Structure 1
């Protein structure tokens, strides 16, 4: 009996583990804020019944199919009256202030200021049902603390810092504009249009807007193609999903049509584009699991450090930069990217073969010995990045033991990015062990004394 009971307990644990591995969901449609949102949209002509807000165990908040969606079926059609664009802003109480302001501001800033002012108005705002369901904070780099920035990969850290400083710059350079809006605010402008408030609005627009070109006007400066789309922006991204999304000039609605369909009660997804996870984290604040587009970037500083024994390194780096070949050097789980291998082939050549450098950038491979040198260098680069990845993951684990909830969410995003990086690098190292033989037609070159790789 005891043995039988033991087997039963193990089977139960296996069933429970299997059930837990399947994404579960809880409908949010009856929660007051979503009832208000749907009512708000229905008043503006939205009639969709295929999707409902739900909370999923794997992705968080999203949209669930209430019945099976067939291939090619229109899953959502959001009327133009439901979209928040610069036309909305310019026709509002903010319009006269923005139209008269010099120099002209960007469409992005106009939308940000409107969101902050509408949030300040609370329930008096026409857009309150939408603003109420927007995230209160984001896991984009603009929100990252110094501790989180420090554990980012070097290749993304600079861009993350640039994003954070860009938002600070937008706020600090428009203080006079903000002060001019005091007549429409019920509190001192310094308490409403704060850096934190603008950061929230900036991330709201950048992470949730859809592309929709707006008519040109004389009041704003720069490309105007942002549109905030209530309810529709609850759709999450999945790399392997295909949809057709655009604004229809015929129906005057923003429409999303499914390519492959969605089963009843499953989450409906959209595809933001063929982005790797570094791009997704920078632009949207999340990391997609099983992302086929994911790569690991080789930072130029690391490349220079590894190849510092080459006396012609500076000239080679300059040559790569002049030919736009210094960026987007990557490895994937299948091995080194073409751009990285091409750059390393050039790095392998002696300075005496300078006339042949261009041929290498155009795809000509080098002699077998130089090919082997390039592959060895890939391994060294992967090992160096992998060492940094392990160190960062250890630091993240320590930070997670002593941080608050907002920092925990940021760290989990970076942790997922680093864990994926570790897997890609491990797979790349295995792939280089089984690299194919070089082709017959190779660029002839002689070994030179500057081959040292540290």
Structure 2
């Protein structure tokens, strides 16, 4: 009887924790594709008794702890034989084609072509158990439709378009190399190494690889730092989590060690880096809720638009650009960044005080009137950004009513980014209003 009570208590506690967190989870361990994956990895020397694949309602797929992870404990250790690197490609049936091609292709392209060819081989592929569990599409900008591109913040939109064109360029500029691979393909190369297939492979490598420096190879050109890590790549990102991750040359394994530990039956997270949500969307295709690193960027076009009546605007913008002061101008929930306020203080000065411009960039304060002008201009910038965010959210709501599931997934990611921007800008405006009140109290003491 006592034993039943204890089991009931643990089960009730887990149900209560799930209810309080609002997150539900469903084990994926018994699904055929994950059974195949684990068998494939076990044959290559990997065993996992701490983590299991699970579907979470808030983050989709992830890894759940089977037992509590203590601070400093090894979370996962994946043997090198389980890692998919350029060495895997060079040692495969593609190796002779890659090695004989001149000029050498990039490590990224080598991995992408290998993934496409392995997916084409289907169950005949040695790596099929891994290929099978990879996403079939992504919510990265390379996949975005024009309608989705149009509702991105302007600074993100430019980078998103560059990403999409980079993938298109990678495909179009390597047609001769692709044609050289016809002997290993069972269908015409044009039907296998399509733009869509290469885009899928590029996103797979870009979003799921771990950093692992490879020895230079004269068969490849450029930095070789990509390693695809089956099972390990199911770990999701959380900004607050701390882990230590690297390839251990002594054990011959890629290892992730937890810094703070994780409770039993909780999702285990890793940290991809101190990225704001714009960077996470561009590189990984998702937005992290409650991301402490998130900011809203103020680009030069917006500065010019808000300050277009200033006759000296062109000269001031030129000065800021020459001093590398037009990048990373941001606002956060805590207020405008130091760089933004410094740029605005310089903007507040007339051309006649040109000899003071450099000193302001180095931190020299301006007079009370110009400081107030700088704060009011920061308000105007936030208000303009907020208006743009509201317009984008309205447009997203309209598009969601008339699109397919793939586009809906893309729009939902962008909507999350825009909703977060709305919160940040609202908080920043409150901070700026407080700053103005403080200045009034300084000027007019009671």
TM range (shorter): over 0.9
User: What is the RMSD computed on CA atoms of the aligned residues?
Assistant: 1.6
**Aligned-pair distance for 1:437?**
8.8
Kindly report which structure 2 residues correspond to 1:18-167, keeping only aligned pairs within 5 A, or say none.
Answer: 19=19, 22-167=22-167
Q: Distance in 1 between matches of 2:173 and 2:118?
A: 22
1:399 aligns with 2:422: no
- The equivalent of 2:278 in structure 1 is 278
Q: State the distance in 2 between where 1:329 and 1:270 align.
A: 28
Displacement of 1:121 in angstroms is 0.3
Helix, strand or coil at the partner of 1:382? helix
1:371 and 1:438 in contact (8 A); partners too: no
Match of 2:243 in 1: 243
1:416 aligns with 2:416: yes
Q: Please give the alpha-carbon distance, in whole angstroms, between the structure 1 residues aligned to 2:78 and 2:436.
A: 51
Distance 2:436 2:274 in 1: 28
Instruction: State the 1:19 CA deviation.
Output: 2.7
CA distance in structure 2 between the partners assigned to 1:44 and 1:366 by the alignment = 65
Shift of 1:354: 1.0
Cα deviations by residue, 1:31-85 (Å, 9 ceiling, x for unpaired): 0000000000000000121000000011000000011111110010000000000
Alignment of 1:321 with 2:321, yes or no, is yes
For 1:124 and 1:78, locate their aligned partners in 2 and report how far apart those are by CA, in whole Å.
24
The whole-number CA distance in structure 2 between the counterparts of 1:89 and 1:250 is 24
Q: Would you say the 8 A contact 2:239–2:274 is kept in 1? A: yes
Q: 1:174 matched to which residue of 2?
A: 174
Q: Report the secondary structure of 1:435's partner residue.
A: helix
Secondary structure of 1:244's counterpart equals strand
Mapped to 2, the partners of 1:317 and 1:310 lie a distance apart of: 11
Contiguous gaps of at least 5 residues in structure 1: 1-14, 440-454
Residue 258 (structure 2) pairs with residue 258 (structure 1)? yes
Structure 1 stretches of 4+ moved >3 Å: 436-439
Work out the CA distance in 1 between the residues paired with 2:104 and 2:113: 14
Q: Partner of 2:326: helix, strand, or coil? A: coil
Does structure 1 conserve the Cα–Cα contact (< 8 Å) formed by 2:375 and 2:436? Answer: no
- 2:289 corresponds in structure 1 to 289
In the other structure, the counterpart of 2:4 is none
Aligned length: 425
Displacement after TM superposition at 1:361 (Å): 1.1
SS at match of 2:77: strand
Name the SS for the 1:103 alignment partner.
coil
Residue 451 of structure 1 corresponds to which residue in structure 2?
Answer: none
Change in 2 beyond 3 A, CA 1:387/1:85: same
Q: Give the secondary-structure state (helix, strand or coil) at the position aligned to 1:434.
A: helix
Give the drift of 1:175: 0.5
In the TM superposition, residue 364 of structure 1 has moved relative to its aligned partner by 1.4
Post-superposition CA distance 1:343-388 (Å, at most 9, x none): 1011111111111111111111211111100000010000001001
